[in-house]
């Protein structure tokens, strides 16, 4: 053993809440006690994805994966593994289906089936340490862009990569960059702006948080590239206050990047100046909407305004502004280094590349996964996700958060991509994927989302401000047993109005969860109204049914 081994300890927010810091402390102590400091280097990394297994440690380069660690386990590992070279079997991952132990991270189906592009560095490097980032080709894309590529070439590369916005809208990134680049700068204007949207408001999605905690430099690098391409000199990251660790790491990384010369004046001697500032939200989902976000950065109420004009023409302080999501940006450096053609090989027609999904709810392996666009729900749930706990039946997957809808058993084999999902009335959105088993009530979930939306509506326009309130009231009546036959028609009617007439994306998509559950589980609604029964037994004011719930039981 002449080569130093790395002990990768996940220090993502989830693992820290599960006690990763304690584990790290004990680990340091043990390494010192056994005089192994020269042989092992402890590296705190960002999220590895399997957050429910935390705290986690990967012994690299072999990739031995220990999970759910307790302080006393570390003593074991140090004595047996580090000193004697024996893997501690009891702490290895056990496949929930086969029951077999899998020692190496890359052999675990949850990781094996993933294609990590946006998450390429998460869980592998120290998030802030710039040398770690440089070791994985960090800032090479920026060097290349600044010294070898014209802005048009960068745009061309992104266009052929087929990358589309990962923030929910799915707008082609290359075209957005091109429009913003071409957007005229008036004489009196100082600059254009680049904004990274890290508001991540969709409850149940946390990929942006993980990227910023685990690999902030890649986002910074992408922002500088974007600035160079569109002709901006100032960037902002708008991040929600609920992510203190991400804010801390991002700010540290920005400092490191400035010191290294990747931010600030005359970046890499190219004559190009660019800097990034962090702005913190204050608890408003609607601030993820780009015009609301702009108002919030300007220090005002986060209320959207009508589009057009789009931010590309009139954005922050009325100057042309490029807004991209964290995950979108994280893809950029690789696309530059490996080429748009390389990226477009992943995924399927019209939806290229990979997408990160946040798996949660009734599923064995919760956490973050990155898969090629077009992967089916079945693969995600039953292969990567390890199936549904207790072998219960799959009932529905909530996708796209409060703007999205439900996918049911009949959608299990559809490819998950922008166009296919649009046809089902759902959407990929930011990639939150909440799995629900047979014991969940769809009316209750629809109410949950509408409650969320109603709470988060900014109140500017009538249909969303009052309309969602009225829809919510109808749902509440249904759940409390006061539903009337006409209610479903009323819901659909109001839903259509709100979608058609609201000012911003929040209202335009607000009725989706209701309309989508109504479409797929109408009988469940009817049971609530006509028989005063909650088939899943969730709604407390209603009786439970003896009927078998509609769900695909026992798929393995």
Partner 1 sequence: MKKKISFEIDDQKVEVDEGTTILEAAAQIGIDIPTLCYLKDINAEGACRVCLVEVEGEPRLVASCVYEARDGIKVKTTTPRVIKARKQVIELLLSDHPADCLTCIANQSCELQSLAKDYDVRDIRYRGERRKIPIDDLSPSIVREPEKCIMCRRCITVCKKVVTAAIYDVNERGFNSFAAPATHDSQIDTPCTYCGQCILTCPTGALYEQRQDSEWVWEALADPDKHVIIQTAPSIRSTIGEMFGMPIGSLVTGKLVAALKHLGFDRVFDDCFGADVVVMEEGAEFIHRLKEGKRLPQFTSCCPGWVKFAENFYHELLPHLSTVRSPQQVFGALSKTYYAEKMEIDPKKIFCVSTMPCIAKKFEAQRPEMTVNGMWAVDAVLTTRELGQIIKQAGLDLKKLPDEEYDDPMGYASGAGVIFGAGGGVMEATLRTVYEKLTGEKMKEFQFKAIRSDSFRELELEINGQLLRFGVARGLGNARHLIDRILKGEVEYHFIEIMACPGGCVGGGGQPIYSHKDRWYMQVNAGNHRGNALFRADEAKEYRTAHENPAIQKLYREFLGEPMGKLSRKLFHTTYTKRPMYSRSKHVLH
Partner 2 sequence: MKVETQPKPDVIKGNENYSRLDKLIEEYKEKEGSLITVLHQAQKIFGHLPREVQIYIAEKMGIPFPEVYGVVSFYSLFSMKPRGKYTIEVCMGTACYVKGAQHILEQLKKELNVQPGEITPDRRFTIETTRCKGACSLAPIIAIGKDIYSKVKPEMTKDILNNYE
Ligand X SMILES: Cc1cc2nc3c(=O)[nH]c(=O)nc-3n(C[C@H](O)[C@H](O)[C@H](O)COP(=O)(O)O)c2cc1C
Identify residues 208-267 at the interface with partner 1 (CB under 8 A): none
Give the footprint of ligand X on this chain (CB under 6 A): 165-169, 171, 197, 199-201, 286, 288-290, 323-325, 328, 430, 504-506
Q: Say how many Å lie between the first and final Cα of the chain, rounded.
A: 43
Contacting residue, 313, 466, 538, 555, with partner 1 by CB under 8 A: 466
Binding positions for ligand FES, rule: CB under 6 A: 10, 12, 14-15, 47-51, 54, 56, 203-204
Answer for the pair 328, 165: CB distance below 8 angstroms, yes or no: yes
Which one of 71-79, 340-348, 453-461, 481-489 is the stretch in contact with partner 1 (CB under 8 A)?
453-461
Nearer to partner 2, 1 or 282 (CB): 282
Annotate 132-162 with DSSP letters as a single string. Answer: HHHHTTTTHHHHHHHHH--HHHHHHHHHHHT
- List phi, psi (to 5°) of 515: -65, -40
Sign (positive or negative) of CA dihedral 485, 491, 494, 496: negative
Shortest distance (Å) from residue 177 CB to ligand SF4:
26
C-alpha triplet 371, 322, 49: angle, nearest 5°? 25
* Whole-angstrom Cα Rg for the chain: 24
Would you state the structure tokens that stand for residue 7, as one six-digit string?
């002990």
CA distance 517 to 17: 34
**Using rule CB under 8 A, residue 331 touches partner 2:** no
Q: Name the segment binding partner 2 (CB under 8 A); options: 90-98, 163-171, 355-363, 473-481.
A: 355-363
Nearer to ligand X, 171 or 272 (CB): 171
Q: Is 479 in the site for partner 1 (CB under 8 A)?
A: no
Count of helix runs (H) and strand runs (E) in the chain: 23, 19
Q: Which of 245, 497, 538, 555 binds partner 1 (CB under 8 A)?
A: 497
Q: Kindly tell me which of 284 and 551 has the beta carbon lying closer to ligand X.
A: 284
Choosing among ligand FES, partner 1, ligand SF4, none, which partner's interface includes residue 506 (Cβ < 5 to 8 Å by kind)? ligand SF4
List C-alpha distances in Å: 327 to 361, 365, 384, 413. Answer: 22, 22, 21, 25
At a CB cut-off of 8 Å and minimum separation 6, what does 85 contact?
none
In 3D, which of 38, 33, 86, 68 has the Cα closest to residue 77?
Answer: 86
Contacts of 435 (CB under 8 A, 6+ apart): 359, 360, 361, 362, 363, 381, 385, 388, 394, 396, 397
The SS3 call for residue 234 is strand
Q: Which is nearer to partner 1, 140 or 501 (CB)?
A: 501
Any contact of residue 185 with partner 1 (CB under 8 A)?
no
Which positions from 428 through 467 interact with ligand SF4, judged by CB under 6 A?
457-461, 464-465
Nearest CB to ligand FES, comparing residues 462 and 480: 462
Residue nearer to ligand FES on the CB measure, 174 or 429: 429
Q: How far is the CB of 508 from ligand SF4 (least distance, A)?
A: 7
Residue appearing with tokens 């049911």:
408
Whose Cβ is closer to partner 1: residue 401's or residue 431's? Answer: 401
- Measured in residues, the chain has a length of 556
**56 within 8 A of 69, measured Cβ to Cβ:** yes
Burial 502-522 (b: 16+ CB within 10 A, else e): bbbbbbbbbbbbbbbbbebbe
As a whole number of angstroms, the distance between CA 86 and CA 108 comes to: 20
Under the binding rule (CB under 8 A), the answer on residue 170 touching partner 1 is no
Helix axes 151-161, 326-338, angle to 10 degrees: 100
- Partner interacting with residue 114 (select from ligand FES, partner 1, ligand X, none; CB below 5-8 Å by kind): none
Residues 442-501 that bind partner 2 (CB under 8 A): 445, 448-449, 452, 456, 458
501 touches which of ligand SF4, ligand X, partner 1, none (CB within 5 to 8 A by kind)? partner 1
Distance of alpha carbon 473 from alpha carbon 299, whole angstroms: 33
Q: Is residue 296 at the binding interface for ligand SF4, with CB under 6 A as the rule?
A: no
CB 278 to ligand SF4: min, Å = 24
Q: Which does 457 bind (CB under 5 to 8 A by kind): ligand SF4, partner 2, ligand FES, none?
A: ligand SF4
Question: Contact residues for partner 1 (CB under 8 A)?
Answer: 284, 301, 305-306, 308, 454-463, 465-467, 469-470, 473, 493-494, 497, 499-503, 508
Question: Contact residues for ligand SF4 (CB under 6 A)?
Answer: 286, 304, 457-461, 464-465, 502-504, 506-507
Question: Contact residues for partner 2 (CB under 8 A)?
Answer: 13-14, 16-18, 50-52, 200-206, 209-210, 241-244, 246, 279-285, 296-303, 317, 358-362, 366-367, 398, 401, 432, 434, 436, 440, 445, 448-449, 452, 456, 458
């Amino acid at each position: 053993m002449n080569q130093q081994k790395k002990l990768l300890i996940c220090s993502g927010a989830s693992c820290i809440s599960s006690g990763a810091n304690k584990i790290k402390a004990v680990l340091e102590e043990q390494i010192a006690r056994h005089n192994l400091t020269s042989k092992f280097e402890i590296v705190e990394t960002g999220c590895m994805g399997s957050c429910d297994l935390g705290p986690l440690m990967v012994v690299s380069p072999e990739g031995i994966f220990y999970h759910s660690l307790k302080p006393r386990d570390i003593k074991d590992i140090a004595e047996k593994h580090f000193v004697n070279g024996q893997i501690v079997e009891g702490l290895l991952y056990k496949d929930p289906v086969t029951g077999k132990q899998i020692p190496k991270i890359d052999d675990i189906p949850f990781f094996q089936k993933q294609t990590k592009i946006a998450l390429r560095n998460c869980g592998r490097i120290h998030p802030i340490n710039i040398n770690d980032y440089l070791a994985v080709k960090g800032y090479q894309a920026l060097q290349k862009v600044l010294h070898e590529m014209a802005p048009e070439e960068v745009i061309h590369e992104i266009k052929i990569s087929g990358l589309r916005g990962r923030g929910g809208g799915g707008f082609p990134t290359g075209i957005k960059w091109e429009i913003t680049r071409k957007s005229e700068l008036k004489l009196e204007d100082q600059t254009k702006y680049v904004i990274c949207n890290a508001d991540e408001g969709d409850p149940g999605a946390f990929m942006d948080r993980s990227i910023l905690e685990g690999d902030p430099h890649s986002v910074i690098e992408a922002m500088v590239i974007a600035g160079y391409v569109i002709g901006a000199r100032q960037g902002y990251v708008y991040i929600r206050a609920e992510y203190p660790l991400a804010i801390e790491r991002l700010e540290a990384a920005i400092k490191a990047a400035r010191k290294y010369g990747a931010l600030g004046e005359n970046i890499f001697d190219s004559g190009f100046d660019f800097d990034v500032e962090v702005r913190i939200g204050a608890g408003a989902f609607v601030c993820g909407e780009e015009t609301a976000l702009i108002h919030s950065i300007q220090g005002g109420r986060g209320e959207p305004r009508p589009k057009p004009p789009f931010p590309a023409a009139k954005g922050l302080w009325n100057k042309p502004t490029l807004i991209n999501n964290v995950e979108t940006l994280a893809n950029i450096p690789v696309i530059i280094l490996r080429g748009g053609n390389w990226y477009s090989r992943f995924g399927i027609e019209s939806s290229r590349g990979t997408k990160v999904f946040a798996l949660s709810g009734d599923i064995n392996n919760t956490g973050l996964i990155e898969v090629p666009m077009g992967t089916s729900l079945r693969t995600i749930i039953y292969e990567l996700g390890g199936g549904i706990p207790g072998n219960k039946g799959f009932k529905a997957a909530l996708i796209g958060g409060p703007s999205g809808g439900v996918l049911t058993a009949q959608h299990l084999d559809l490819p998950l991509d922008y166009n296919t999902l649009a046809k089902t009335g759902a959407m990929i959105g930011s990639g939150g994927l909440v799995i629900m088993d047979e014991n969940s009530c769809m009316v209750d979930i629809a109410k949950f989302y509408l409650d969320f939306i109603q709470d988060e509506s900014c109140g500017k326009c009538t249909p969303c401000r009052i309309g969602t309130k009225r829809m919510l009231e109808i749902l509440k009546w249904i759940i409390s047993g006061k539903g009337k036959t006409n209610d479903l028609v009323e819901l659909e009617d109001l839903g259509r109005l709100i979608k058609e007439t609201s000012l911003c994306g929040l209202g335009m998509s607000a009725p989706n969860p209701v309309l989508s559950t109504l479409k797929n589980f109408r009988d469940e609604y009817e049971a609530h109204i006509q028989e005063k029964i909650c088939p899943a037994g969730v709604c407390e004011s209603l009786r439970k049914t003896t009927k078998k719930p509609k769900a695909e039981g026992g798929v393995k």
